[in-house]
Chain A
Amino acid sequence: MTSDVIEQNAAGRGSATGADDALKIDFCGMAFATPLVLLSGCVGFGDEYTRIEGFTHASVGAVCLKGTTGSARLGNRPHRVAETPMGMLNAIGLQNPGARYVVDHILPGLDFTSTRFIANVSGSTVEEYREVTQIFDDSPIDAIEINISCPNVKEGGVAFGNDPDMSARVVEACRGATKKPIITKLSPNQTDIAHNARRCIEAGTDGFAVINTLMGMAIDAETRRTIIGNNQGGLSGPAIKPVALLKVHQVYQVAKAHNIPIIGQGGVTNAEDALEFLIAGASAVGVGTALFYDPLVCDEINRGVSAYLTRHGFNNVSELTGTLTLNG
């Protein structure tokens, strides 16, 4: 069937990278072939991008699967995405077939030798987070990422991640349900991300993903209506990179003393962006929205990071983490 094989104009590009030892890192005890991580929500349940000729999971250290809840969710009405200046809004609404289905029917189809697969755990209640984590605990999944940006339906619909107490309760509940590495995905939509990070460390997180999307809105002036079906959505793409860099820097100030590593993410589109996140304090770098216009972008980022390491005399990419010099 021709539609199963998608050809990508790859003129002048080599095959996948990933064999470079200088790019190999340890993240929460997991061996990553490169510091790159494909972000949750951008790459489905791990299989979809393999339709693209030239794409391979070997280019990245890990793949975060789509946000998964206790039972199946249909997600939001259209439109779910809209392009905005230097970025895009999305409000997918956690469409997923439920954790049990993912573990029983999707994970068995994934090639766990090609990369590390990380589950993204979501819920409407603390109990749901715990239950989903428990389901993934009894599976071959390599780690659990907690999406704490979901609305807390029992307490007024405020996102768990916007409040340090609620964040800590979610992390604590998940911690009690698994021994696998837990990565907490912090929201930028809060006053003091460093304080929240501190509480999550106390609650037992092993790592952080910084940042989730920034909430935004797009309006069609002609019709005077919102473009996104859900009215509001999460902003991603290069537009949010400066915000993300600051948040990574702030979380790193708290996390470094505890050896808690960070996946820095938000608008990464090339090697220079990735390097900036590493310098700001990230140990790994997430790539999401950039895949939408260049599915092979990770190979290019790997090559650029490798070249930088050689040029600056670093033996391994981990030596770059947190090497930022602030102005006195």
Chain B
Amino acid sequence: MRRPLSIMRASPSEGWIELLYRVVGEGTALLSRKARGEQVNLIGPIGVPFRIDESRTLPLLIGGGVGVPPMVFLADAMRQSHKQLEPLVLMGSETPFPFRARPSQIMVSGIPGDVIAAMPLLEDWGIASRLASQQGYAGCHEGYVTDLARLWLEGLDGDALGKVSIFACGPEPMLAAVARLARDHDLPCQVSLEEYMACGVGGCAGCAVPIRTAEGVAMKRVCVDGPVFPAEAVFPG
């Protein structure tokens, strides 16, 4: 079966996409052994993307583990097409981050002074990022990425808080915590979900998850109806 992978970067004009993945099983092991010039077969892009509200100029992007690459993609899209936005990207991982973190040159108020590790790619784009982990990595916030997000949100004044919207991708417990955070601060929040998939085009309903709609609970397909859903539809209070 095919595996759903998120795209980290793409250039429609140059015709390439960049995937960031960790080798966890046979499929990703095979992918990692592909040599330059070899072909891979893929179906995509599939699904509904994040919707960006330009009036909310302080987007907070939260990525955990496998949810890191799509947050880089989203930050890149904001950088290129929504220049008035000032995104902050927070990433969490309990295995070593797939890049060499470096001390950030971009100051972010509300973030503890010793939390300085940033993703170089985002740093080069002029986008603020910070990292969190419980593994004691240098410069990272020691704890959950959602705790770091809460610290930042609590440092904002009412006016700034009104400009925040949250975008998140990662393991379900993290997304549930993000949804709580959004609810506590009355912020719009979208989450991108993962589920086992078979067809990837909406034909098999194998990836359907319960989503709250105005008409009650519906089973929505992560592949074509998602993967992005409103947080409150996935995690009702």
Contact = CB atoms under 8 A, between A and B. Distances in A.
Interface string A272-299: 0000000000000000010111110000
B198 A78 contact: no
Contacts of B201: 6, 48-49, 51-52, 295
Contacts of B40: 9
B102 interface: no
Contact of A6 (B1, B41, B45, B196): B45
B160 interface: no
Interface in A57-82: 66, 74-75, 77-82
B208 interface: yes
A306 interface: no
Contacts of A293: 1-2
B198 A90 contact: yes
A90 B47 contact: no
Contact of B219 (A11, A44, A74): A74
B218 interface: yes
A25 interface: no
B44 interface: yes
A11 B40 CA distance: 11
B1 A44 contact: no
Contacts of A92: 204-206, 208
Of B41, B197, B198, most buried by chain A (CB within 10 Å of CB) is B198
Contacts, number: 103
A81 B204 contact: yes
B196 to A, nearest CB: 5
B207 interface: yes
Interface string A68-110: 0000001101111111000010101001000000000000000
A48 B205 CA distance: 11
B25 to A, nearest CB: 10
B206 A80 contact: yes
B208 A292 contact: no
A107 B84 CA distance: 46
Interface in A3-18: 3, 6-9, 11
Contacts of B198: 81, 88, 90, 289, 292
Interface string B14-58: 000000000000000000000000011111111111000000000
Interface string A1-37: 0110011110100000000000000000000000000
3 smallest CB-CB distances across A and B, nearest first, come from A81-B206, A48-B203, A44-B203
Interface of B: 1-2, 39-49, 195-210, 217-219, 224
Given A3-B46, A6-B45, 10 more contacts: A6-B43, A41-B204, A44-B202, A44-B203, A52-B43, A66-B205, A81-B1, A83-B1, A92-B206, A291-B203
